[in-house]
Structure 1
C-alpha cells in the first residue's frame, strides 16, 4: 500500500515592494509536495533557494543532475534553465525563498554558489531551516519591518553557505589557505587595533594555534603578528597626532588600543626615532611653513 501524502503549500510575499533595491527578499514559502510533482524546465529572473526538510527528489540544471534529500539545499540562478521533481515514493518537503537586487550576484558569489556548484549539504545545527521559517513568519505578519528582518535571515543563510562551501574550495591547495588565513589576521588587526586585543584573542577568534599562525604570518609578511599589530597602531597614532592636535598623547595612545601612555611613547620612539610630542611639533611646523 502506497503512503498517503497530504499536499500542503504556503507562500507569503514581502510586504515592502521591490524597486531596484540593492538586495531584496521577494517571497518565502514551504510545501509538502505530491509524488512526482515537477517544476520546469523553466527559467527564473531571480534567485530561488530551496532547503529539503523531508523526502527526496531530483534537481536538474544546464550542467548536471542532482539526487537530493533531507539536509540538502539547491540554489536556482536567474536565467538558468532548471527543473526539479519529487520522488515517487518519498516526495520532498521543502522550504524556499526568492531574492534579487543589484548586490545579489556578488552576495551569491561570496557564498560560493555558482551555476556549476548550486548545491549545498548543511550540517547539524544549521541556521538555514530556521532562517527560511523566520522569513515566512515575518512576511505573514505583514509589517514594514519584515523587509529588514528577511535581509537579516538572508545574510545568516549566505554566511553559513560561505563557510560550508569554502571548506570544499580550500581542499585542493594548502598555499591558498595560508594566504587566506593571513588576510583574515590582517583584517582582524585592522578592524580591532583600537581595542586592547591580544594575539591570543585573535588566534582564538580564528580557531588556530598561536604558534602556527605566527609562523605562517611571518612567512607571508616578514613580521611577527605582535610586531605587525604594534606597527599598525603606531601608524594610526601618527595620523592622529597630525590630524587631531586637540588630543593629548594619552588620548592618542588609548585611541589605538594602548592604555599605557609610557609604553606607547617608548614604542613610538622605537619606530619613529622621536617622541610623540616631538613628532607632533615637527609636523605642525612643517604644515605652518607650507601654508606660508
Structure 2
C-alpha cells in the first residue's frame, strides 16, 4: 500500500457467462477493487451472498447486530436480506476481492462453512486459498467460456472448505462427547465409502489424524464393535446383497467386490457371521424367492 496516503481507485469485475436460472448453486460474478479513502457501500440489502477478502488496508463492516473492524487477511460474508454497510479507512483504504453466489444449496453450504448472520467474519485467513480462488473465478469469467460456470463452482467449494476448516467449532483435541460422536461418524463414513478397497484401519486413523488405540477405544464405546469387526461386518453385509442380487457373479468376484481378495478367508468370515457358506446362502435365498413367487 502506498504509505504516502495517495491511492488510485481501481475496479474490475467478471460476470458468469452462464445466466442464473434456478441452479442449485451459482456464482454470479467476481471482482477486485482498490477503494478510495472512506469508500462506502450501503446501508443496503442484497438478495445474494457476497463474500469479500481483504488483501490490504482496513475499514469497518456493519451488520444489523454488530460492527467489525477488519484488515488484511480478513473475510466478511454478507447474507441475503441483511441490512449491511462497509466503509474503507480514511488513511489505509481497503483493497479487496469479492464473489457473489446464490442458489437453493447456498444456505446449506454457508452453514456448513460455519458462517451465519451472527458469525459473518473469518478473521486472518491463512495462506492463499481464498484470494487465489477469488482471482481464479474472475479470470475464468473474463475468459467468457461457458465452462467457467463449473470452474467457478470448484473455486467456491475450495473457499467454503477453507472457511469450514477455520470456523469449525469442533476442537481437534479428543475428549468432548460431541467431538467423539463426530469422530465416530467420520470413521463410519470412511469405512462405508472405502470398504471395496484394501483399506486398513491404520490408513483410516492416519487420515483422521488420531492414533489407532484412541480411535479403537472411542469407536467401541459408541458402537459396541471394534473398527476391524465393524469393517468386516460391513463387507459381509454388502456381500449378502451382491449374492442375492447378482447371481451371475462368482463367490470370488463377490469377495473381491467387497475388498476381500482371499476367497477362502471371505467364505470363513461369511459363515462366521451368517451361519452358512456364501454358496449355501445364495441357494437358500434363491429358493425362498422362487417359493414366494408361486
Please report how far the alpha carbon of residue 259 of structure 1 lies from its aligned counterpart in structure 2 after TM superposition.
Answer: 0.6
Distance 1:82 1:123, change over 3 A: closer
Give SS of 1:59's match.
Answer: strand
* Number of positions where the alignment pairs a residue of Structure 1 with one of Structure 2: 291
Structure 2 match to 1:240: 242
Instruction: Report the Cα distance in structure 1 between the residues aligned to 2:4 and 2:228, rounded to whole angstroms.
Output: 67
Alignment of 1:272-287 (within 5 A): 272-287=274-289
Corresponding residue to 2:269 among 238, 246, 267: 267
Q: Could you say what the CA RMSD is over the residues aligned between the two structures, in angstroms?
A: 1.4
Verify the 8 A CA contact 1:2 1:89 in the aligned structure 2: no
Q: Give the equivalent residue in structure 1 for 2:190.
A: 188
Name segments (4+ residues, structure 1) moved above 2 Å.
121-126, 168-173
Q: Secondary structure of 2:30's partner? A: strand
Please point out which of 218, 228, 242 is paired with 1:216. Answer: 218
CA separation of 1:85/1:171 partners in 2, compared to 1, >3 Å: closer, same or farther?
A: farther
* In 1, Cα distance between equivalents of 2:125 and 2:75: 11
Matching residue within 190, 205, 208 for 2:207: 205
The answer to whether the Cα contact below 8 Å between 2:170 and 2:179 also exists between their aligned partners in 1 is: no
Q: Is the 8 A contact 1:15 1:142 kept in 2?
A: yes
Structure 2 distance, partners of 1:256, 1:289, is 29
Tell me the TM-score normalized by structure 2: 0.96
Distance 2:113 2:181 in 1: 19
Unpaired runs of 5+ in structure 1?
Answer: none
**Contact preservation (8 Å) 2:23, 2:103:** yes
**Matches of 1:192 and 1:50, distance apart in 2:** 37
1:19, distance to aligned residue in structure 2 (A) = 0.9
5 Å-filtered alignment, 1:76-225, equals 76-166=78-168, 168-170=169-171, 174-225=176-227
**In the alignment, is residue 15 of structure 1 matched against residue 3 of structure 2?**
no
SS across alignment from 2:122: strand
Partner-residue secondary structure (3-state), 2:31: strand
Shift of 1:164: 1.4
Q: Which runs of 5+ in 2 are unaligned?
A: none
CA contact (8 A) 2:219 2:227 kept: yes
Structure 1, 153-162 or 173-182: larger mean CA deviation: 173-182
Aligned residue in 2 for 1:227: 229
- CA distance in 2 between partners of 1:55 and 1:212 (Å): 45
| TM-score when normalising by structure 1 | 0.97
Post-superposition offset of 1:126: 3.9
Shift in Å at residue 124 of structure 1?
Answer: 3.0
Of 33, 42, 45, the residue aligned with 2:44 is: 42
Q: Deviations over 1:130-150 (max 9, x none)?
A: 100000000110111110100
